[in-house]
Structure 1
Amino acid sequence: MSVLADMLAEIFREPTLAGVARELATLAAPLWLAALVGLLIGWAWRPRWAAAVVDVAGHQQQPVPAAAAAQQAPAPQTTVADHLAVVPRAKAASLAPVEEEELAVSTPDLMHLRRVVEEKDGGPAWTHMMDRTLPTFRYQAWKREPQNGPPQYRSSTIFEDASPDVVRDFFWDDDFRISNTWDDMLLEHETLEECTKTGTMVVRWVRKFPFFCSDREYVIGRRIWASGKTYYCVTKSVPRPSVPRSSKPRRVDLYYSSWCIRPVESRNGDGAMTACEVLLFHHEDMGIPWSIAKLGVQQGMWGCVKRIEPGLRAYQTARAAGEPISKCAAMAHANTKFVADELTASENNTEAGSTSNNAQAEKPKHWTGNLPKVFVIGSVVALACTFDKGLLTKALVFGTARRFAGPGRR
């Protein structure tokens, strides 16, 4: 305060009014510049709630015509909730078709699974883990560890004398998982939603974990696509706020476990396509350290895999005996057909368009696009030169300007 008082006293000693005004303007200029810099920086990093307030105010000021409001009002008997509700098969045909993007699992999930199957998803390379062969099946496993996210696992299981249709139903049949106990971790299951037209389901699982962990709850969306005799089966966690959370069992929010089931040549050497390969891609965040999870997977993988093959043979026997299939397995028959070549062409066109848009975005911008940044940096430099009271202040101000300018040329 004493410094400011001395400066004001010095200013008012000026012999003319014009001199006093000039000196006051010189003193106030940095303050105005600082205020302007604060406004610009505050606008650049404005909080989300401020943008939301502006957006809400703008919407409130725009009245919606009555005709448009009537068009936007949902039809009383064709809501998405009606399509996704669990309904008897007899009533399914009377429902209007559900939109693809409104389903829990949609076409982009199929495209992603196909890229993973073809090893074109851009992820890290797979590292071989295991290779075991028994008389009736062969098992191979790989893993990879992305920078962000839990470890990912890929496996190939080839069952001799097995059709893709039965293997598809086998993995979809939650009732048989529990009754046969080949998947002894599954304690209970519940169907929350289903679309009988596309076969899309949302199910709730509770899985048993070791004694030192609480059981885990999963809310999973799943759907099957078919291209000939090749089936792409996607299962992944989906958000459902309507399903209440509890401390036990603990909810798993990140879960992905998908298969590609396809016929392959038997190893008998006769050229017959009587074997079936299951390519599995799996990762999840179970809420325990990933290093411990990796150790558990490595130690228990083969024991779990060995239980699958006897379960499949029991399932084949039950189907051959004419036992009725469960509702879960029946939903596996409501798969979505697609032509692989057409989907590949569509995906390539999408990627080409995305590349073109990126190229346009990377074109050099006109120098006028950098005016706000230049103005702010110039203002900060003026501040630094005005406050000629020490190196620390200048270093702080210039450091702020350099951070705002970004990692460009220094």
Structure 2
Amino acid sequence: MGLVSALPEIMRRHATGDMLSELIMFVSPLWAAVVLGVLVGWIWKPKWANFGVEKLTSSSSPHASSDSTTSKFNLCSIPSLNSLKLPWIVDYGVRNDSLSSQSSQNSSFNSSLPSQVAKERSGFVTEDDLRHLWKLVEVKDGGPAWIQMMDRTNPTFSYQAWRRDPENGPPQYRSRTFFEDATPEMVRDFFWDDGFRAKWDDMLIYASTHEECLETGTMVVQWVRKFPFFCSDREYIIGRRIWDAGRVFYCITKGVNYPSIPRRKKPRRVDLYYSSWCIRAAESRRGDGQMTACEVILFHHEDMGIPWEIAKLGVRQGMWGAVKKIEPGLRAYQKLRAAESGSHPSPEMARINTKVNLEDLSKERESFQQEEVEARDSPRKPSGKSSSSVQKVLVVGGAIALACTLDKGLLTKAVIFGVARRFAKMGKRL
């Protein structure tokens, strides 16, 4: 009401210069009060106000997972606030910067740490990846249902394939391959031997190992695969590792970030890549009750930079042509290992496996499910909105304090309260 009653008085002035001078006289202290009020609201921050911010920060920090990211609102990312160099904002930014610098220092000190710890912290292939693969094998990942695509069988080899389409991401594939007269160790070595793979996998045109850990068996390899003539070749930077659960081998291969290998225009790099399998002994189909066969359950998806519907059509058309080369390759590998064991031993990194107990994984899942139930049944904890409420009160309070001390007029107070209210609404939206 003060603003409505004051404007007619100004507009009744006949001289334009008088009008402008009156407006300037009103606006100057007004904006000074607004700026100082906002500064007071942000600078004058008692220690108890950090409680909400710290709670929000701790609640939004990501849990160890491969696979999920959580975006956090950082006031230092706003240029206008960053340039003010306000104490608590700068401290908050330094705290985040110190975490990132600490992370970089940890990675630089990996060479001085034990190799196992260094590899676990590098994030190439971790136990979270093992848990994820175990859930896929046990059909406990909670994803969509699988739709069968193929079922081929011959006397010594069979192959079944399924597909599913997640809401976000490329199509996912699951397959079961069955080999007669093959041990899990032989099949494990066969899939891990890049030197021999080029003899049966005609899509692989280049393979190179860039990093190895002799304690965990973790590797970083570079592949270049040949695509049909209408597509350029694709480059893969793959992290891989094997876990041994009593001759049940969980083999993880996935795309990893590896800045040491610069990105090039050609071949095009595939960033999203996942191809992992479980290898285990199986009973022979001859009916003798002997565990002389081997079963491989594979899970695969990748974003090749091709529209997903076209990629699905291409996979469906070319799947059997690629799969039927696997068994002749395995039989040739078996013969080579039997005849030339001295000149072609099993790949060393394939034999470096991390021991794991499947019962522990099952217990971990049961414990995790129980925690989920308890969290769902327990009262909801206060969310991070409490911190925004504290900041809103500080901003409005600072503006009110200055409005009451710097100017007694209704016009200044009305506009200051309006601006403060708009700032409060902005904070609520954020």
Counterpart of 2:168?
Answer: 148
Matched, 1:8 2:27: no
* Corresponding position: 1:343 with 2:361: yes
- 1:106 is aligned to 126
Residue 183 of structure 2 corresponds to residue 163 of structure 1: yes
Structure 2 CA distance for aligned equivalents of residues 302 and 399 of structure 1: 63
* Partner of residue 294, structure 2: 276
**Offset, 1:292:** 1.2
Distance in 1 (alpha carbons) for counterparts of 2:115 and 2:423: 58
Q: How does 1:68-79 map to 2 (within 5 A)?
A: 79=109
Give distance in 2, aligned partners of 1:143 and 1:280. Answer: 12
TM-score (norm 1): 0.72
Contact 1:172 1:328 in 2 (8 A): no
8 A Cα contact 1:170 1:315, kept in partner? yes
- Equivalent position SS for 1:246: coil
1:364 to partner: Cα distance: 6.3
What TM-score results when the alignment is normalised by the length of structure 2?
0.69
Alignment partners' CA distance in 2, 1:189 and 1:366: 48
Inter-partner Cα distance in structure 2 for 1:284 and 1:131: 22
Q: How many pairs does the alignment contain? A: 354
| 2:322 paired residue among 287, 304, 310 | 304
**Is 1:246 the equivalent of 2:246?**
no
Residue deviations 1:197-239, cap 9 Å, x none? 1111000111111111111111100000011111000000110
For structure 2, which runs of at least 5 residues remain unmatched after alignment? Answer: 14-25, 43-52, 54-72, 83-87, 398-413
2:219 to 201, 219, 242: 201
1:128 corresponds in structure 2 to 148
1:80 aligns with 2:110: yes
Higher RCO structure (Cα 8 Å, ≥6 apart)? 2
In 1, Cα distance between equivalents of 2:298 and 2:136: 10
Alignment partner, residue 117 of structure 1: 137
One-letter code aligned to 1:252: V
Deviation at 1:346, TM superposition (A): 3.0
Q: Which letter does structure 2 place at the counterpart of 1:280?
A: L
* Equivalence map 1:301-380=2 (5 Å): 301-324=319-342, 329-353=347-371, 356=374, 362-363=380-381, 371=389
Shift of 1:368: 7.4
Q: Give the letter for the 1:141 counterpart.
A: A
Q: Please name the residue that 1:237 is paired with.
A: 255
Residues in 1 aligned to 2:261 and 2:93: alpha-carbon distance in whole angstroms: 29
Q: Secondary structure at the match of 2:197?
A: helix
Equivalent-residue separation in structure 2 for 1:162 and 1:252 (angstroms): 32
Q: Distance in 1 between matches of 2:89 and 2:230?
A: 45
Aligned residues: percent identity? 50
Rounded Cα–Cα distance in structure 2 between residues aligned with 1:367 and 1:124: 34
Q: CA deviation at 1:7?
A: 4.1
Partner of 1:65: none
Range 166-175 or range 312-321, more displaced: 312-321
**1:46 aligns to 2:75 (yes or no):** yes
Q: Tell me which residue corresponds to 2:406.
A: none
Question: Distance in 1 between the 2:346 and 2:264 partners?
Answer: 26
- Given that residues 173 and 326 in structure 1 are in contact (C-alpha distance below 8 angstroms), is that contact kept between their aligned partners in structure 2? no
Is the Cα–Cα contact under 8 Å of residues 272 and 302 in structure 2 kept in the other structure? Answer: yes
CA distance in 1, matches of 2:97, 2:228: 54
Change (3 A) 1:307 1:113: same
Aligned equivalents of 1:168, 1:368: Cα separation in 2: 53
Paired letter, 1:46:
L
Higher relative helix content: 2
Q: Distance in 2 between matches of 1:101 and 1:230?
A: 22
By how many angstroms is 1:6 displaced?
3.7
How far 1:174 sits from its partner (Å)? Answer: 0.4
SS at match of 1:332: helix
Relative to structure 1, is the Cα distance of residues 184 and 96 closer, same or farther in structure 2, using a 3 angstrom cutoff?
Answer: closer
Change (3 A) 1:230 1:58: closer
